[in-house]
Structure 1
């Protein structure tokens, strides 16, 4: 395969750049912050779902308080009316007795309502504590997520900048190499995981290290200065 010494040096430099781009791209893809961010968002979603359930329980509990307060207000008004009727009875014993029993029933009911309200209020207080815990958990997970995002943007940004510079250098270098050589290199690189070119080392491929039999070795040397390994099909520099 036709190639100048400059072409060969440029191909080795091209391979160095490509391997460095691959390394930094892999490093970018494997930044641990990605996992932290995903985990934080999943956790926040679970906490928010719990928060929604707690909010629904709180609304239902608050409605209980409202119903109790409404009934108690109605009974307080009724109690005042009965008491007023007793006060106005003026010795009507039967009326006073009936009203007194009615009043006693109202008072008992209001007492029961007071107990019920205290129990429901205790529930609301517990819910308030849970809400405080949820708020704290959300603040903590959001802070952790933001910290990971900031770190990812810094570290990932540095890697992206380095990759962009390498790609710019690659583009400049490609313009200096014979177009057919670049095509052959790119095809081999894509197939061989990035290592597309090596050097013939005696009777071995400098990359795959497979021994080349004498007949093929003669044919390979005839391709100098650039041939193809009969085993791994990589480009081989033949001195």
Structure 2
């Protein structure tokens, strides 16, 4: 067990070392709260729903284009049918009123009326086909709009729950961080600096209790030779784990 991890042993009153463990406990709780805040189940569901909503929204946008195009096409076919019907009515009225007396003109007019009838029939078929396509497209768009509305409703509920949980966690985190200041106050600056450096590189754990011959950081049991070295080390000298380099704080439960 290397007690210094450097050329000059770091000194800290045993009381300060024990206080450092309390700071570590507070920091661990704060880390847990931050992790909890960033991994709320609502966040995952919101992300999933937002991705799904984007897909549906894209589909709805395309569906609206189809509906608009079919509506324009139906309007054109309707106008064409109306124009041909108007012309048929006009020609019939002229014939019924006897305005055309020339036999050849009458024969020509009759052929034109027959042609107009066929044209109307063809246009009405087109009109019906477009109408059916439009109704189908409108049903599809309505279904997509319903899905979007359901997504929005669920997203609103999730956002409200997320914000509620954020507020709870933030309040607890503020309390925890406030307590840390009081615990860390008065600790040696070099001890805190080492602790902060180790915490940053060791997954948030910079100091650990030596308990029952085991390092609370890496969970490895120390052998008798290492324990003997630590037992001979002055109480105000900071020791560190040979395996994980974390600060080891000795307590009555260390098994020395």
Matched, 1:15 2:27: no
TM-score, structure 2 as length reference = 0.82
**C-alpha distance in 2, partners of 1:232/1:93?**
114
SS of the residue 2:208 aligns to:
strand
Q: Secondary structure at the match of 1:194?
A: coil
State the match for 1:126 in structure 2: 136
**Counterpart pick for 2:109 among 99, 111, 114:** 99
| Offset of residue 220 of structure 1 | 6.0
Q: What per-residue deviation string (whole Å, max 9, x for no partner) do you get for residues 80-111 of structure 1?
A: 33224323346532222221111121122112
Aligned residue number for residue 4 of structure 2: none
Cα offset, 1:209, TM superposition? 3.3
Q: Who is 2:221 aligned against?
A: 210
Give the Cα–Cα distance (whole angstroms) in 2 for the partners of residues 199 and 123 of structure 1. Answer: 74
Distance 1:148 1:228 in 2: 46
> Is 1:41 the counterpart of 2:53 in the alignment?
no
Which structure dedicates a bigger proportion of its chain to helix? Answer: 1
Query: Per the alignment, do residues 146 and 69 of structure 1 end up closer, same or farther by CA in structure 2, a change over 3 Å counting?
Result: same
Q: Secondary structure at the match of 2:11?
A: coil
CA shift in 2, pair 1:117/1:189, >3 Å:
same
In structure 1, runs of 5+ residues without a counterpart are none
Give the count of matched residue pairs.
238
Structure 1 residue 152: deviation in Å? 1.0
- Superposition pairs for residues 26-105 of structure 1, below 5 Å? 26-86=35-95, 87-89=97-99, 91-105=101-115
Distance 2:63 2:53 in 1: 15
RMSD: 2.4
Tell me, which stretches of 5 or more residues in structure 2 are unaligned?
1-9, 252-256
**Structure with the larger RCO, 1 or 2 (CA within 8 Å, 6+ apart):** 2
Tell whether 2:239 aligns with 1:230. Answer: no
TM-score relative to the length of structure 1:
0.87
Question: Residue 189 of structure 1 corresponds to which residue in structure 2?
Answer: 199
* More divergent stretch after superposition (113-122 vs 187-196): 187-196
Distance 2:221 2:130 in 1: 82
1:25 maps to 34
